[in-house]
Amino acid sequence: MAFQDAWTLDLDRLRDCYIHTASPDGRLVPFCAYNLTDRQGRSLYRKTEPHKYSGLLSETHSA
């Protein structure tokens, strides 16, 4: 299944999600909502944007 965003949010799927991630402040966030973005594409729960580490793998294997 694809990640949900502001346009594809499925509340039934979110309610049935039983895998959670713990945020640094101790909140439990359903994994189905962890990558949820707002209408402008900003992450609601993920504090580190995925593109920050996008070059890490290629830098590690190029040495």
Does pLDDT of 44 surpass 50?
yes
Distance of alpha carbon 15 from alpha carbon 5, whole angstroms? 15
Per-residue confidence at 53, pLDDT binned at 50, 70, 90?
A: very low
| Cα angle 38-18-10, degrees, rounded to a multiple of 5 | 40
pLDDT band at 48 (very low <50, low <70, confident <90, very high): low
Output the pTM of the full model. Answer: 0.54
DSSP label at 62? Answer: H
Res 63 pLDDT > 80: no
33 has pLDDT over 50: yes
Which one has a higher pLDDT value, 26 or 6?
26
